[in-house]
């Protein structure tokens, strides 16, 4: 604008409203809502004690001067107090710096924006509209000027007046400037901000988002303090003593109670015990209390701002050259957020074109959150920084982060992307984060070193550095992929603990190295006193989880759902490791290879702490832990000796004589349902186990004595596949019984060869001889039945009957129901049960066990018939039992004794017509037995003397002598009555 006119010319110069608005550019928006000639109210933001009222300012309307730039306005030597001036730009029209000013006489410190010194003692005081632009304070944007100076002044002015910054285009360079305080919302839009990291410092961020409220130290009298401390424990949700601190984030700290000692860091003293929560109406708190406090050394309330501050848009280009060639500590390079209810969204953060990350010192995080409640980072792309470069010479000494912070409650990260390679360190590096939400993000790492509480992740991807966590509360992850070999690695240096509930649902581990182990949950603490309880969660549920090996060349590594430590008690302190009272793994699969999944090994169950009582009383296992593994693509482990534990799907490693600590130790009920091939050991531990619809490979339930509990196999295939060490393939003895229900037994495979002939190496079965444990509808595979048929030893009906139904208290031995006399079953095989029936094929009789011996099924008496048709002249000859009988003897099938006889003679004499003898086994047994006489015919008499005989004895009768004068055709008959005592 031509400034050579006289003052009168400027007063009377006339332009149309349209021309004026066009010339003002952005400044027109300020003027549009006001009359061009306004009264004294325009100067209300300028202190009248400095400027006064101005000559003639009360007497009439003011005129407005229009300039092309600030320089043009400063060049005007004729400006007078009370005038109004507008610039069309700061450096040139339309550059975004156009502003309205009131001209006053004054001596305020010039800042190039809110106060501009003119000539003749005049100053131009900025009359702000409803927003502030960096150009209004002289930001240049040429790559040479440190625009941070002007940006800082613009924010200071906006903060003082509660105005937003709106700067949605242009380029700006921040060099040495830091501590740009933000207390109002910002709209950066498409603006590009270059940050020269060579000026980064260890103490000051470039931007500090700051609350308008100062923290308040809370003081209680002794009675109130005691009442307050009684409420500082887990489970409390209302703290009446904090009612007056509503809308505050409250921190309690006891520096005398140290927890979280970091393992592997000599001299580390851990953290003060501390907790924080937000206070709502009437003392209702938001944020779980994790610790119990007996005292505190600090109690502070941080009032939360009542509105949301929104920082929207902007592209940040970083130079990558953090100061220092040797380790100096952590440097700031972005935002320090110290204001609750802050939203940052729609930003891009990365290296400037042509730049590389060459820093040798770590960064705190481009976004750093501290002592805040309810913050959101949304729609942001940022960079994880390099740490482990090729070789070691250029490695960064410590972890370096893109997002950091501590003591943050209710933080949400939505649609945030920060990915990289193995060279890059984790984008997240935090401590004391509570109620932490990650939604639809792609991050190379989520890391909470100390005390994460309630972490929720959904619809996200986590890269090579993974989840590294310790803490508690809820750990819920859904529909998320993780690239690497551990889906969650619980930090060993802080005890690998999670004191809460773990849920993984519809997640996938994209295995990075198929030659090494892959784990869904990796708990691996050191045997070290961390000064707080450590353990493996209170409940765990993993559903629809996949180990994905797609595209990998090496596929030999193990996949396992969970790993825990080898100890259950800390040696130095005696503190016990807590264990979940509920674990459920369902629908766990493998993609990209055939090899399946292993489940869990519990190396030491004795001192684990479940937090609830259980036990084993000799009658049943009172379970305090429920484990369920269902629909698992189980690994068929490499062939090994049957009792080996090198490769197992599941293990409880315990001796039968091992002493469990108390009722809070591990007493599990375990269900394995459709887990594929199962090779597992329970040894002498305490457990109630059921395996269903699975292939049961070798199993050992004996170590120093039988397993203390019960095993049930339901609808399983029993098939050992092992290396042959000559030992049994199964040891299934348990104190409470082993049960087979609807199972099929297959031939063992030893050294890769099917061996039906070695089926008896299963401890529970020896076909046609022995069967142990409880059975209902157990079946032999066709391979086995064919083998026994072809070997001439087909499975007997009696053995099938045992397979069909056998009680554990029955004899293990098969009791045959038929066979030779020599094959009669031992009484022990049917527990000497009276009435047991056997068909003896040698004597073609059914015999019955009467409790003492075998007896005929039809009775215990028999009569032996003998005769001779010419007594006279027949002395010493054998009486016949039948004509033409080759031996004329009776073969006695059972043991017993003679009872009586009946002798008849056709022509009796006055005295005994004849005498006879009994022979046994071709030797005289009883001699001189008198026959009938004329007075007693037939003669019925009892035998005397040694009358007993044994089964198998042969009995014959001979005529010893006869009376004289008998007719030549006289004949005689003899009936010998015997009583059997056994058969």
pLDDT 10s digits, 650-673: 999 999 999 999 999 999 999 999
Confidence band for 971, pLDDT divided at 50, 70 and 90: confident
The structure tokens 């100053």 sit at 123
> Please, what is the average pLDDT of the chain?
90
Answer whether 441's CB lies under 8 Å from 319's CB: no
Burial of 370 (0-12, 13-18, 19+ CB in 10 A): middle
Residues pairing with 182 in the sheet: 209
d(CA 616, CA 662): 11
Handedness of CA 398, 258, 521, 718 (dihedral sign): positive
Closest CA to 452 of 434, 476, 477, 426: 434
d(CA 153, CA 146): 12
Structure tokens at 825: 């079953």
| 38-48 pLDDT per residue, tens | 332 333 333 33
Answer whether 747's CB lies under 8 Å from 759's CB: yes
* DSSP helix/strand/coil, 614: coil
| 97-150 pLDDT per residue, tens | 999 999 999 999 999 999 999 999 999 999 999 999 999 999 999 999 999 999
| 478-506 pLDDT per residue, tens | 999 999 999 999 999 999 999 999 999 99
The structure tokens 């018939």 sit at 865
Task: State yes or no: pLDDT of 600 exceeds 90.
Answer: yes
| 357-404 pLDDT per residue, tens | 999 998 999 999 999 999 999 999 998 888 888 888 889 888 888 899
Residue 266 main-chain phi, psi, to 5 deg = -60, 135
d(CA 265, CA 930): 112
d(CA 425, CA 842): 87
d(CA 198, CA 205): 13
d(CA 871, CA 966): 8
Describe the strand order of the beta sheet including 84-87 as a list of residue ranges. Answer: 64-67, 84-87, 100-105, 122-127, 115-117
* The Cα angle at residue 382 between residues 380 and 384, in degrees rounded to 5: 145
Which residue did the predictor score with more confidence, 791 or 61? 791
Confidence band for 908, pLDDT divided at 50, 70 and 90: confident
Confidence band for 15, pLDDT divided at 50, 70 and 90: very low
pLDDT value at position 7? 36
Confidence band for 949, pLDDT divided at 50, 70 and 90: very high
Flag whether the pTM goes above 0.85: no
Answer whether 813's CB lies under 8 Å from 829's CB: yes
Report the Cα 916 to chain-centroid distance in Å. 93
CA distances from 740 to 42, 652, 764, 806 (A): 94, 21, 10, 10
Describe the strand order of the beta sheet including 845-849 as a list of residue ranges. Answer: 818-819, 837-840, 845-849, 854-856
d(CA 123, CA 102): 8
Task: State yes or no: pLDDT of 61 exceeds 50.
Answer: no
Closest CA to 628 of 688, 716, 696: 688
Task: State yes or no: pLDDT of 5 exceeds 60.
Answer: no
Answer whether 978's CB lies under 8 Å from 864's CB: yes
Half-sphere exposure of 321 (CA within 13 A, CB side): 9
- Whats the size of the chain, residue-wise? 983
d(CA 71, CA 67): 9
Task: State yes or no: pLDDT of 57 exceeds 50.
Answer: no
Answer whether 644's CB lies under 8 Å from 601's CB: no
Give the residue-averaged pLDDT of 148-156: 98
pLDDT value at position 339? 98
d(CA 953, CA 397): 100
Task: State yes or no: pLDDT of 608 exceeds 50.
Answer: yes
Structure tokens at 530: 């961390």
With pLDDT > 90 as the criterion, what percentage of the chain qualifies?
Answer: 77
Please name the residues in contact with 244: beta carbons below 8 A apart, sequence gap of 6 or more.
none
Report the Cα 277 to chain-centroid distance in Å. 28
| 467-481 pLDDT per residue, tens | 999 999 999 999 999
Task: State yes or no: pLDDT of 642 exceeds 60.
Answer: yes
Domain annotation for the chain: domains and CATH numbers? 7-129 (no CATH), 216-303 (no CATH), 598-814 (no CATH), 861-980 (2.60.120)
pLDDT value at position 17? 37
Burial of 571 (0-12, 13-18, 19+ CB in 10 A): exposed
| 426-453 pLDDT per residue, tens | 888 889 999 999 999 999 999 988 999 9
pLDDT value at position 174? 98
d(CA 527, CA 510): 31
Answer whether 885's CB lies under 8 Å from 957's CB: no
pLDDT value at position 983? 60
pLDDT value at position 982? 61
With pLDDT > 70 as the criterion, what percentage of the chain qualifies?
Answer: 93
Beta strands in 141-264 (DSSP E): 165-166, 171-174, 180-182, 186-195, 207-210, 216-217, 248-259
Task: State yes or no: pLDDT of 95 exceeds 50.
Answer: yes
d(CA 103, CA 100): 10
Confidence band for 611, pLDDT divided at 50, 70 and 90: very high
| 491-548 pLDDT per residue, tens | 999 999 999 999 999 999 999 999 999 999 999 999 999 999 999 999 999 999 999 9
pLDDT value at position 909? 73
Task: State yes or no: pLDDT of 706 exceeds 90.
Answer: yes
CA distances from 526 to 147, 270, 469, 494, 538 (A): 51, 16, 15, 9, 20
End-to-end alpha carbon distance in the chain: 139
């Amino acid at each position: 604008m031509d400034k050579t006119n006289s003052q009168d010319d400027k007063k009377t110069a006339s332009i149309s409203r349209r021309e004026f608005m066009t010339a003002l550019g952005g400044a027109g928006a300020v003027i549009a809502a006001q009359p061009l000639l306004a009264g004294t109210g325009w100067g209300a933001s300028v202190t009248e004690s400095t400027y006064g009222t101005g000559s003639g300012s009360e007497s009439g309307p003011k005129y407005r001067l229009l300039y092309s730039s600030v320089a043009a306005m400063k060049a005007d030597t004729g400006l007078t107090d009370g005038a109004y001036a507008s610039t069309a730009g700061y450096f040139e029209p339309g550059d975004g710096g156009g502003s309205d000013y009131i001209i006053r006489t004054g001596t305020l410190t010039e800042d190039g924006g809110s106060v501009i010194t003119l000539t003749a003692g005049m100053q131009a005081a900025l009359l702000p509209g409803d927003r502030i632009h960096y150009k209004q304070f002289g930001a240049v944007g040429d790559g040479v000027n440190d625009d941070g100076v002007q940006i800082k002044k613009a924010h200071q002015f906006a903060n003082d007046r509660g105005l937003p910054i709106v700067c949605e285009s242009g380029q700006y360079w921040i060099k040495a400037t830091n501590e740009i305080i933000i207390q109002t919302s910002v709209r950066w839009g498409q603006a590009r901000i270059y940050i020269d990291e060579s000026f980064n410092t260890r103490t000051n961020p470039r931007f500090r988002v700051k609350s308008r409220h100062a923290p308040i130290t809370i003081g209680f009298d002794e009675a109130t303090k005691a009442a307050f401390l009684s409420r500082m424990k887990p489970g409390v949700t209302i703290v009446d003593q904090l009612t007056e601190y509503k809308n505050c984030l409250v921190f309690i700290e006891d520096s005398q109670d140290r927890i979280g000692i970091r393992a592997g860091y000599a001299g580390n003293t851990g953290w003060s015990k501390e907790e924080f929560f937000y206070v709502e109406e009437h003392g209702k708190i938001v944020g779980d209390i994790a610790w119990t406090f007996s005292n505190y050394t600090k109690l502070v309330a941080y009032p939360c701002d009542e509105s949301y501050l929104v920082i929207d848009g902007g592209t940040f280009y970083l130079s990558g050259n953090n100061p220092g060639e040797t380790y100096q500590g952590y440097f700031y390079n972005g935002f320090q957020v110290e204001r609750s209810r802050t939203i940052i969204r729609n930003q891009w953060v990365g290296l400037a074109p042509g730049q590389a990350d060459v820093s040798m010192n770590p960064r705190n995080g481009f976004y750093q959150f501290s002592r805040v409640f309810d913050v959101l980072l949304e729609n942001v792309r940022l960079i994880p920084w390099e740490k482990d470069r090729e070789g070691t010479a250029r490695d960064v000494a410590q972890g370096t982060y893109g997002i950091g912070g501590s003591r943050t409650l209710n933080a949400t990260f939505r649609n945030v992307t920060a990915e990289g390679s193995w060279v890059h360190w984790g984008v997240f590096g935090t401590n004391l984060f509570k109620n932490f939400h990650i939604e639809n993000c792609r991050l190379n790492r989520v890391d909470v070193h100390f005390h994460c509480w309630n972490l929720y992740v959904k619809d996200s991807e986590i890269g090579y550095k993974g989840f590294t966590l310790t803490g508690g509360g809820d750990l819920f992850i859904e529909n998320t992929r993780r690239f690497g070999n551990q889906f969650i690695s619980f930090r060993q240096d802080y005890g690998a603990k999670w004191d809460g509930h773990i849920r993984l649902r519809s997640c996938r581990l994209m295995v990075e190295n198929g030659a090494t182990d892959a784990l869904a949950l990796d708990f691996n603490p050191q045997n070290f006193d961390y000064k707080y309880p450590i353990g493996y969660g209170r409940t765990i549920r993993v559903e629809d989880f996949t180990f994905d090996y797609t595209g990998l060349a090496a596929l030999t590594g193990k996949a396992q759902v969970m790993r825990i430590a080898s100890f259950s008690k800390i040696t130095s302190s005696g503190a016990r490791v807590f264990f979940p009272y509920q674990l459920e793994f369902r629908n766990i699969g493998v993609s990209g290879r055939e090899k399946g999944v292993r489940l869990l090994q519990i190396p030491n169950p004795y001192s684990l702490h479940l937090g609830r009582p259980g036990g084993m009383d000799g009658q049943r296992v009172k379970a305090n832990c429920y484990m369920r593994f269902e629909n698992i693509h189980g690994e068929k482990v490499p062939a090994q000796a049957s009792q080996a534990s090198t490769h197992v799907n599941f293990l409880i490693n315990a001796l039968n004589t091992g002493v469990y600590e108390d009722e809070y130790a591990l007493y599990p009920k375990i269900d394995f349902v459709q887990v594929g091939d199962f090779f597992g050991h329970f040894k002498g531990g305490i457990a109630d186990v059921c395996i269903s619809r699975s292939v049961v490979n070798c199993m050992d339930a004996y170590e120093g004595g039988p397993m203390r509990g019960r095993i049930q196999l339901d609808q399983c295939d029993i098939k050992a596949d092992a290396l042959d060490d000559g030992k049994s393939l199964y040891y299934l003895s348990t104190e409470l019984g082993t049960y087979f229900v609807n199972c099929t037994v297959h031939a063992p495979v030893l050294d890769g060869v099917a061996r039906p002939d070695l089926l008896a190496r299963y401890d529970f079965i020896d076909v046609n001889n022995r069967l142990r444990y409880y059975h209902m509808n157990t079946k032999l595979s066709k391979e086995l039945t064919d083998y026994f048929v072809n070997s001439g030893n087909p499975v007997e009906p009696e053995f099938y009957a045992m397979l069909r139904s056998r009680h554990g208290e029955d004899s293990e031995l098969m009791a045959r129901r038929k066979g030779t006399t020599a094959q009669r079953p031992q009484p022990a095989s049917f527990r000497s049960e009276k009435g047991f029936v056997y068909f003896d094929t040698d004597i073609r009789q059914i015999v019955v066990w009467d409790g003492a011996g075998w007896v005929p099924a039809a009775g215990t008496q028999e009569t032996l018939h003998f005769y001779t048709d010419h007594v006279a002249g027949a002395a010493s000859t054998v009486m016949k039992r039948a004509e033409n009988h080759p031996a004329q003897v009776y073969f006695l099938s059972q043991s017993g004794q003679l009872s009586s006889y009946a002798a008849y003679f056709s022509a009796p004499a006055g005295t005994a017509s004849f005498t006879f003898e009994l022979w046994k086994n071709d030797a005289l047994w009883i001699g001189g037995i008198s026959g009938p006489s004329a007075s007693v015919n037939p003669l019925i008499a009892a035998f005397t003397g040694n009358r007993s005989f044994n089964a198998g004895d042969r009995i014959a009768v001979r005529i010893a002598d006869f009376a004289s004068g008998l007719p030549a055709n006289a004949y005689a008959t003899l009936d010998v009555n015997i009583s059997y005592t056994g058969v």
